[in-house]
Every structure is written in structure tokens, then in C-alpha cells.
Amino acid sequence: MIDFAAIMEHAFANRPYLSDVHGIEHWHQVEANALMLAGRVVGVDVEVVRLFAIFHDSKRFDDGYDPEHGARGAEFAKECREAKLFEIEDERFEKLYHACKFHTHEPKNDDPTIACCYDADRLDLGRVGIPLDPEKMATGFGSRIAKQSLKERVSVFAMREWIKNLKLP
């Protein structure tokens, strides 16, 4: 059993930068998005996507251009695993590591867990004023959400609330 709250507290206590944009509120939103997507995308490892929500932006140095933050987050996840803060099999950890490392560099991935991680993060782009783009989503369901947001002309600043109340067949 993974203690996600304890891991999040540890990651928060060890962050190099206090961010309103990429901080704990974003981590919680990515987790909520991941759980929503996991219910619709076949083959998603829920524990991995929840861990991704914690680690993917945990080692950002600032809110600007920081191309290596994902790699640092992946290494931090590795350190936490080695310290026995959580235990998962090697194959599952490799998915977490890959998703963290490449979430801003790789547009799509054939693995449903990794793709879900990418979309969970991308669905929260409204917080920085970026509208959802169906072409930039990694899962079919993520693309459907993005298309619906454009169809309904959802304000980027209302995106979190809209997603929370989203009802798609």
C-alpha cells in the first residue's frame, strides 16, 4: 500500500522552489485529472499516475522555461523509491520515470499509463492561460475533453471547474 499523502508531504518539503503555478494545487489537480482519465482509458496503472502527479513538477527551479525539471523529478522519484518511501515493481517504476522525464518533451506515447500521465498534466494548462488542444493530447479521451472545451468555449480560467463537472458519455 502506497501512502500518497506522506509522499506528497515529503516532495513538498523537499521542493527547490515554492510555486503557485506548478505547486501543490497543480499536483492535486493533475491527480484528479489522472483518476478521471484512468476511469476511461483502458490499461492505466492508477498508482503510477498518482505518483506522477506528485513527482512530475516536484523539482522545478522556477515557473519559467526549465527543460530539465522532468528529469530531475524522475530522479527524485528514484531517490524516494530507493529510500523505501514507496515500493513498486521495476516495470511500473520505469513507466513513472519515463512519464516524469519526458512529460514536456514527448507529445504522445503508446503506453496507456504514460499517455494518461501526459494528459493529466495537459488538462491543467488553463491555469497558465493555455487553451486545450485536441491535437496535443496523448489519449483519445483527453482529445475528446479538449474538443468539448473548445466547442463549449470554456474560459481557460474556468477549465478546472469545468473539468470537475464534466459529463461525457
Instruction: Give the model's pLDDT for residue 79.
Output: 98
Instruction: Give the model's pLDDT for residue 169.
Output: 77
Look at residues 37, 27, 26 and name the one whose alpha carbon lies nearest to residue 7.
27
Asked if residues 124 and 160 have their Cβ atoms less than 8 Å apart, the reply is yes
Instruction: Give the model's pLDDT for residue 96.
Output: 98
Which amino acid type is present at position 137? M
Average pLDDT per block of 10 residues along the chain, 169 residues long = 97 93 95 96 97 98 94 98 98 98 97 98 96 97 97 96 90
Look at residues 107, 156, 151 and name the one whose alpha carbon lies nearest to residue 131.
156
Cα separation, 104 vs 40, in Å, equals 23
Q: How many residues does the chain have?
A: 169
Cα separation, 150 vs 154, in Å, equals 6
Rg (CA), the chain: 15
Instruction: Give the model's pLDDT for residue 167.
Output: 86
Instruction: Give the model's pLDDT for residue 20.
Output: 85
Query: What is the per-residue pLDDT across 50-80, written as a single tens digit (0 to 9) for each?
Result: 999 999 999 999 999 999 999 999 999 999 9
Cα separation, 162 vs 159, in Å, equals 5
Instruction: Give the model's pLDDT for residue 120.
Output: 98
Distances (CA, A) of 24 to 106, 107, 109: 23, 24, 26
- Which residue, chain included where needed, has cell 520515470? 97
Instruction: Give the model's pLDDT for residue 6.
Output: 98
Rounded to 5 degrees, φ, ψ at 103 are -60, -20
Distance of CA 53 to the CA centre of its chain: 4
Asked if residues 4 and 50 have their Cβ atoms less than 8 Å apart, the reply is yes
Asked if residues 139 and 116 have their Cβ atoms less than 8 Å apart, the reply is yes
